[in-house]
Amino acid sequence: MTATSETPLPLIWVKSSYSNGQGAECVEWAPEHAALTGDVLVRDSKTPHARYLTLTPESFAGLVSLAKAHG
């Protein structure tokens, strides 16, 4: 996992379904970027211009499992 703020592709961010539509407390990810590069980008929607995390698909799956278990 790395923190970064630059990518060569325009990013389209999608709110996580685990955010339950809670607006201010959402996790977002860039699925199109993941499909093209294999890197899963994740950010906090409260700070959209801040750095985001770059996860491997395996790390992202772990994050999703954690959200499901502790939602």
pLDDT tens digits, residue range 7-33? Answer: 556 899 998 766 665 555 688 999 999
Rounded to whole angstroms, how far apart are CA atoms 69 and 10?
Answer: 32
Enter the pTM of the model. Answer: 0.74
Q: What's CA 36's distance to the chain center, in Å? A: 15
Beta strands in 1-71 (DSSP E): 2-4, 14-15, 27-29, 40-44, 52-55
Does residue 2 register a pLDDT over 80? no
